[in-house]
Structure 1
Amino acid sequence: MNLITPAPWSDYELIDSGDFQKLERFGTFVLARPEPQAIWKKSLSDEEWGRRTNALFRRDRQSPERGDWQTTPDMRDPWYVSFRQGGLNLTFKLALTSFKHVGLFPEQADNWTYIYDKVTEMSSNGSGAVAQPNVLNLFAYTGGASLAARQAGAAVTHVDAVKPVISWARENMDHSELDNIRWVVEDATKFVRREVRRGNRYNGIIMDPPAYGRGPDGEKWVLEEHLGDLLRSCADLLDREDFFFIINLYSLGFSSLILENLIRQTFGQVPNAEWGELFMKDSDQKRLPLGVFYRFASVPLSMSERVDE
């Protein structure tokens, strides 16, 4: 099993975590948000948290998910951050949403560089065998993975069931000075099944399925019930010669061992496999787990910070 965290980047910092919260810097602004896995104590005092925080998320007592933000007068909404590592030079719009999210999951940065490397290595401009790799991003949200694949030169199809999220991802594409991503507002399972019927293939498939969700026509998604079927369809879509595959899960209690079993049962023996947990490290070196992942590729793994346990 691997524990993977992104290399440090200037526009993001996990300052502290604990007491079911996390204190993060995005660009020049510091946010305090709920974090159910931070069950330990904070390293910094409540006074220090209050002094640093520009935006504090408070949950609505009537809803386990929604809430609102208390902000300082100098807090901007929206605002922008950059990600520059390796060959990637991306710009993201951030905003304070009622679901505590801001449009960016920093723990995914290692996957962005992984995607960039895989697309580059398999494409002809990187001395690979594919003229232009074809990449599918499912449950694609605001598009960090889509942007990484596109900047490496891939033809990218970005699928999400929520139209405003697609619009947000398109803004990120424009701010990153990219173009020609294919946008699809549709239920992921429906889209994949149709692509299988059409005989299409993708060199890269990326997915970040939620625990629960609804498609644009009311289609129901329950992770435990529907993930297996979606993975089997993706196995039919994935190119047999030049390929990579990434799945991330944020559902609490969903072990990476479950993912390992599902992948082995669905794809068989896969090359260059990595699986385990993504985490971010705060300034006191506490490691905050932020989801499980499984990824494999036809080309060797690129180097990233990892701990084998």
Structure 2
Amino acid sequence: MNDEYELLDSGNGKKLERYGATVLDRPCAQAVWAPQNTSLWEKADARFDRVGGLNWEGRHKVSKAWNVEIAGVVMKLSATDFGHIGVFPETRELWQWIRTTLAEQKKKKGRDLKFLNLFAYSGGATLAAAQSGAHCCHLDASKGMVDWARENAALNDLQDAPIRWIVDDVIKFLRREVKRGNVYDGILLDPPSFGRGKKGELYKIEESLVTTLDLVNQVLSDDPSFVLLTSHTPGFSPIVLSNLLRQYHLTGRFECGEMLLTGKPGVNDLPNGNWARWINNE
């Protein structure tokens, strides 16, 4: 499977990454060790830092937008004012797992599966699920990000795939889905530490996540496949995330771990968030 992402090095509170032919130097607080190869950092096309504000150096040298294939999904990237570029590559192994699991479960169950992606950002996981043949629902509170995800769908020839594109507050949407009786076989949620809904609704993970998970549990089908919970919030460790899921699913298999940015053998893995999942064994 083609993958044009690579972690080149990390250290001194930064990460050096290659996205296709473009090399970026950006902050990463957890990279507290010394870089392994200081000469590589000279190859950065652009650098971003937060010293005295949000600043790009060399941004003009980078294409306004460029496409990169990551874990079999083509993504449009762009150097935004906030330092994000439109993808979190630490989730790429989860995309592969979602794609493979949904394809296997579709064959096993003999029916089309429904996948729900909450806080879905630019759509990598949605498109990986769609590649498996699943019927998808992609939800984010930002219309700009949903539009970006739809562009990514077109890049992967999935513009006509069975994907619902929703701009809404997650909790309000889930409550409506419960009333409608809509259910899903696989659900991914990546709640922010702090966020705003479509109409300015406040989302704080410490206060809102349990409510969200209560509703997620109510929109699972009678024969579901999985629930996958990810987080970049400090303190929400793999065990914390796993314990949150165990409140609802007492049978089945639980797995958890760290999301990692990775490169060639010998390059230090860089933890960047955590995940936990419940898998239905029945």
TM-score range with shorter-chain normalisation?
over 0.9
> Aligned-residue CA RMSD in angstroms?
1.8
- Does residue 275 in structure 1 map to residue 256 in structure 2? yes
Q: CA deviation at 1:197?
A: 1.6
* Residues 38, 200 of structure 1: alpha-carbon distance in 2 compared, 3 angstrom cutoff: same
* More relative contact order, 1 or 2 (CA 8 Å, 6+ apart): 1
Q: Percent identity?
A: 39
Q: Secondary structure at the match of 2:198?
A: coil
* Residues 197, 10 of structure 1: alpha-carbon distance in 2 compared, 3 angstrom cutoff: closer
Q: Which runs of 5+ in 2 are unaligned?
A: none
Partner of 1:248: 230
- Does residue 200 in structure 1 map to residue 193 in structure 2? no
Partner of 2:76: 93
- Does residue 58 in structure 1 map to residue 49 in structure 2? yes
Q: CA deviation at 1:72?
A: 6.5
- Does residue 37 in structure 1 map to residue 11 in structure 2? no
Q: Look up the equivalent residue of 1:250 and give its one-letter code.
A: H
Retained in 1: the 8 A contact 2:22–2:62? yes
1:209 is aligned, of 191, 194, 200, to 191
Q: CA deviation at 1:44?
A: 2.0
Q: CA deviation at 1:90?
A: 2.1
Partner of 1:135: 115
* Residues 199, 140 of structure 1: alpha-carbon distance in 2 compared, 3 angstrom cutoff: same
Q: CA deviation at 1:281?
A: 3.3
2:65 is aligned, of 67, 78, 101, to 78
Q: CA deviation at 1:16?
A: 0.4
Q: Look up the equivalent residue of 2:218 and give its one-letter code.
A: D
Partner of 1:171: 151
Matched pairs, number: 279
Per-residue CA deviation, residues 196-240 of structure 1 (Å, 9 max, x unaligned), is 122211001111111000001110000011101100110111123
Partner of 1:307: none
- State how far apart, in whole Å, the 1-side matches of 2:119 and 2:137 are: 11
- Does residue 24 in structure 1 map to residue 17 in structure 2? yes
Retained in 2: the 8 A contact 1:122–1:299? no
Partner of 1:13: 6
Partner of 1:303: none
Partner of 1:184: 166
Partner of 2:136: 156
Q: Secondary structure at the match of 1:273?
A: strand
Q: Look up the equivalent residue of 1:33 and give its one-letter code.
A: R
Partner of 1:220: 202
Per-residue CA deviation, residues 52-98 of structure 1 (Å, 9 max, x unaligned), is 10011122524xxxx132227642121111135xxxx4211000012
Partner of 2:86: 103
1:146 is aligned, of 108, 118, 126, to 126
- State how far apart, in whole Å, the 1-side matches of 2:203 and 2:60 are: 40
164-173 or 236-245, which deviates more: 236-245
Q: Which runs of 4+ in 1 moved over 4 A?
A: none
Q: Secondary structure at the match of 2:209?
A: helix
Give the alignment's TM-score, normalised by structure 1: 0.85
Retained in 2: the 8 A contact 1:17–1:38? yes
Q: Secondary structure at the match of 1:292?
A: strand
Retained in 2: the 8 A contact 1:118–1:299? no
Give the alignment's TM-score, normalised by structure 2: 0.93
Q: Look up the equivalent residue of 1:281 and give its one-letter code.
A: T
Per-residue CA deviation, residues 223-269 of structure 1 (Å, 9 max, x unaligned), is 0111011001101111231321111100123222211221111x132
Retained in 1: the 8 A contact 2:47–2:59? no
Retained in 2: the 8 A contact 1:20–1:36? yes
- State how far apart, in whole Å, the 2-side matches of 1:93 and 1:72 are: 16
Q: Secondary structure at the match of 1:76?
A: coil
- State how far apart, in whole Å, the 2-side matches of 1:270 and 1:145 are: 25
Retained in 1: the 8 A contact 2:47–2:58? yes
